[in-house]
Amino acid sequence: MDSSHPCGDDTQRRFSSFPAFLRLTPVSAAPALRSAVSSPGSWCLVTYDAHRYQLTPLSGGAATSLPRTALEAYGRPQSIAGFIVGTPSVPAFDGTFPVMAYDAVCPVCYNNDNIERRLIAVPDRFEHVSCERCSRLYDLSNGGIPVNAPADGRRSAHLFRYRAAYTPTADVFVVQN
């Protein structure tokens, strides 16, 4: 192992190097997103097409659909498979509960096989998502770490995390990488 890189391949960046962008406003019009950015332990799947955003709470319940407007000229959403947005139930080291955003793609399937398989919610484990293809389980409240590592010969990886911010006074949520 190269002594100038003591951790070698075992280190991972805190934020993904993949480009990502999302700007949603008004957050108050989407109950699943409003809960995800303001209530520790709440998470929301954000997907989109050319005309609409779909916001689905991971805990179950009704999804909200928001139209995309001319304001999106500011920047079109960009991700691999959508976003998983929320506030972990476990506080950060400074005692705060930061809003987090992950790509909704399985990093193992994407990195190894270039498959854009969207992660799914795990019933009764609202801060976990799983991949139906490779059977990996990820913990959203702990940095998107893999909870299990099936013996399939592929290296596990954290979820792709993006920079996220919610500004309550402007009622806007932004993901940018």
- The pLDDT score that the predictor gives to residue 126 is 85
Strand 120-122, strand 145-146: pairing:
unpaired
- Pick the closest to residue 84 from 147, 37, 30, 51 (CA basis): 37
Domains of the chain: 27-176 (2.102.10.10)
Going residue by residue through the chain, which has 177 residues, state the pLDDT in tens, using 9 for 90 and above.
444 444 444 445 778 989 999 999 899 999 999 999 999 999 999 999 888 999 999 998 889 998 887 665 567 889 999 999 999 999 889 989 999 999 999 999 998 888 888 999 998 888 999 999 999 999 999 999 999 878 887 778 899 999 999 999 999 999 998
pTM of this prediction?
Answer: 0.88
User: In this structure, what token pair is assigned to residue 107?
Assistant: 């990093």
Residues 6+ apart with CB under 8 A from 115: 106, 109, 133
- Pick the closest to residue 37 from 76, 85, 91, 93 (CA basis): 85
Provide the CB-side half-sphere exposure for 164 (13 A, CA). Answer: 25
- The pLDDT score that the predictor gives to residue 53 is 92
Strand 83-87, strand 21-24: pairing:
unpaired
